[in-house]
Amino acid sequence: MTNDQGVFRSRINLRWADIDANFHLRHSVFYDLCAQQRMDALTTLGIGMAQMKEHHFGPVLFREECTFRREIKLDDEVYLELRLRYVSADHARFSFEHEFLKADGTHCARMVVEGAWMDTRLRKLCAPPEHLLVALDHLPRSAEFKTL
């Protein structure tokens, strides 16, 4: 995963199991790849599963939506880009966007997720611990980024 020009960019390694009967990427794989990329990005910023467990918080999603534009086939060279769309002033709520792009720049799909952080002991929404807010502020921003 690289962080250049204000984006986390990952090359996707597709597997035979990711392909459906129409010989293109299964719709559910798009969601799985995006979830993994968000966790990879957070871990890179120092907010991995160990920190979430230690501080009793984790992400919960309210909405996940993918818009499909072009097919992705097994032998395609594909990249996934991640940006933060919005965050609340206390960082408790967030939205991410993911863009699936072929090596030639062809836009294949866009995933948008909206969610919040949850206290895993109280099972209620919360803001992340103060010392992790700085890490969240280092996430790349989308063109339409805003603070709520």
pLDDT over 60 (residue 2)? no
Task: Count Cβ atoms below 10 Å from residue 47 Cβ, excluding itself.
Answer: 21
Report the DSSP pairing between strands 93-102 and 107-119. antiparallel
Looking at residue 26, which CATH number applies to its domain?
A: 3.10.129.10
CA distance linking residue 103 with residue 142, whole number of Å: 20
Beta bridge partners of 19: 25
78, two tokens: 């594909």
CA 98 to each of CA 32, 35, 120, 124, 130: distance values in angstroms, whole numbers, following the listed order: 12, 10, 26, 27, 26
Please tell me the least confidently modeled range out of 15-24, 66-75, 104-113, 122-131: 122-131
Range of the domain at 132: 2-147
Number of domains in the chain: 1
User: pLDDT tens, 32-73?
Assistant: 999 999 999 999 988 899 999 999 999 999 999 999 999 999
Task: Count Cβ atoms below 10 Å from residue 83 Cβ, excluding itself.
Answer: 20
